[in-house]
Homo-oligomer: A and B are copies of this chain.
Amino acid sequence: MLGNFSYCNPTKLYFGDKSLQYLNTELPKYGKNVVLIYGGGSIKKNGIYDDVIRILKDNDKNVAEISGVMPNPTLPKLYEGIEIARNHQADFLLAVGGGSVCDYAKAVAVSVHCKQDPWEKYFLRFEEPDCEILPLGCVLTMVGTGSEMNAGSVITNPESKQKIGHVFADEEVMPRFSILNPKYTLTLPHYQMVAGIYDIFNHICEQYFSGEDDNTSDYISEGLMRSLLHSSRIANKNPQDYEARSNIMWTATWALNTLIAKGKSEDWMVHMLGQAVGAYTDATHGMTLAAVSLPYYRHILPYGLQKFKRFAVNVWDVNPAGKTDEQVAQEGLAAMEAWMQEIGLVMHITELGANADMLEGIADATFILDGGYKVLSRDEVIQILKESL
């Protein structure tokens, strides 16, 4: 914990099976023109849409809609949404959906009053907004990304095959409030549920597997990982277990709201690899991460041996007695692999539609970051992708 840092996360969270009612507490704080943002329409089937519309009407809001936000929200869709919000003279954005819908809503929020092209400004140049930012509230229906309590947004440019995330520094980009009702997550298909679980797990790993320093953040990360492993095993067997699903939902929020990265460096190479796979295959985000993780971690293990050993002992209860550090560390990753298989994660990018011919392109689309235990060369990226096939 040697660095200087600041922390501020003002998002108000309402958690629980009765949390939707707090929309009535929050909506009166904002203006009349609301843009409701959602995805493929599952919220119309499960009744959440009707409940939200009723509350918006009760609060006398004038509602426009952006529907059909896709799992990897695209730049053309962003342009469309900005237009709708401008035409509606939006005072407030209400995102109802998972991380993609929240991410997308943030991109709209920082673009409506911005005269420059948002792709170039925010996702290529990583600039901060210098315009008015629309306030945003979220009703979360899928867990994983942590978007409900952070200032991150990921947009995909299908033309250039770039999927780029920007974590805004400005706290105004964070949702003003988020409603987290674990019941909303119970109807999600098993595939989406476990993809979300792996997304959460990997968020923690990206922050954990970096740095030599021994700080509080890493201990909190270990607690979150242990909680997630415990609850994921219960949810895998019984997706209807409310307590397990609620623990997963809460863990997801704290896995990526900046807390566990405080005072330390971070990696994020698994996300860079996974996002490049995602840009080529449009596969579910969490599954792209799952498919590239073990080849990546086994590749960097020698460079971060002590941390991988600690991971094995503190997260996977590997008994280190009589073993070399290398053996302990490898046992930890083997335990992780067994858990990934147990809950049904995708272990190969070929299962997601990638093939050997795409590897050069995926490697080209992979941003190489420093922060991890080894800065990859392009050859190493290719090698890891090959091992992910």
For A170, what are the chain B residues with a Cβ–Cβ distance below 8 Å?
A: none
| Oligomer copy total | 2
Interface centre among A11, A224, A226, A230, by most B CB within 10 Å?
A226
Is A44 interfacial (CB 8 A cutoff)?
Answer: no
Is A238 interfacial (CB 8 A cutoff)?
Answer: no
With contacts A220-B223, A223-B222 taken as known, whether A10 is within 8 angstroms of B13 at the C-beta atoms is: no
Report the separation of the CA atoms of residues A14 and B8 in the bound assembly, to the nearest whole angstrom.
Answer: 9
For A213, what are the chain B residues with a Cβ–Cβ distance below 8 Å?
A: 243
Is A18 interfacial (CB 8 A cutoff)?
Answer: yes
Partner-binding segment picked from A35-43, A119-127, A135-143, A244-252: A244-252
Chain A stretch 331-375: residues in CB contact (< 8 A) with chain B: none
Report the separation of the CA atoms of residues A250 and B11 in the bound assembly, to the nearest whole angstrom.
Answer: 20
Q: What residue in chain B is nearest A2 (Cβ atoms)?
A: B243
Is A188 interfacial (CB 8 A cutoff)?
Answer: no
With contacts A10-B8, A224-B219 taken as known, whether A262 is within 8 angstroms of B243 at the C-beta atoms is: no
For A8, what are the chain B residues with a Cβ–Cβ distance below 8 Å?
A: 10-13
| A208-241 interface bits toward B, Cβ cutoff 8 Å, 1 = contact, 0 = none | 0000011110111111101100110000000000
Report the separation of the CA atoms of residues A6 and B9 in the bound assembly, to the nearest whole angstrom.
Answer: 14
Report the separation of the CA atoms of residues A65 and B60 in the bound assembly, to the nearest whole angstrom.
Answer: 49
For A231, what are the chain B residues with a Cβ–Cβ distance below 8 Å?
A: 216
Q: Are A247 and B6 in contact, CB atoms less than 8 angstroms apart? A: no
Q: Are B6 and A13 in contact, CB atoms less than 8 angstroms apart? A: yes
Report the separation of the CA atoms of residues A94 and B8 in the bound assembly, to the nearest whole angstrom.
Answer: 19
Q: Are B223 and A219 in contact, CB atoms less than 8 angstroms apart? A: yes
Q: From B12, B224, B242, give the contact of A223 (CB < 8 A).
A: B224
Top 9 nearest A-B pairs (CB, nearest first) are A4-B16, A223-B223, A219-B227, A8-B12, A10-B10, A1-B246, A219-B223, A216-B227, A7-B13
Beyond A1-B250, A216-B224, 10 additional pairs, beta carbon < 8 A:
A1-B243, A4-B18, A5-B16, A6-B14, A8-B11, A8-B13, A10-B10, A215-B250, A216-B250, A216-B254
21 contacts between A and B (CB under 8 A): A1-B182, A1-B249, A3-B16, A5-B15, A6-B12, A7-B12, A7-B13, A8-B10, A8-B11, A9-B10, A215-B243, A215-B246, A215-B250, A216-B231, A216-B247, A216-B250, A219-B223, A219-B226, A220-B220, A250-B262, A254-B259
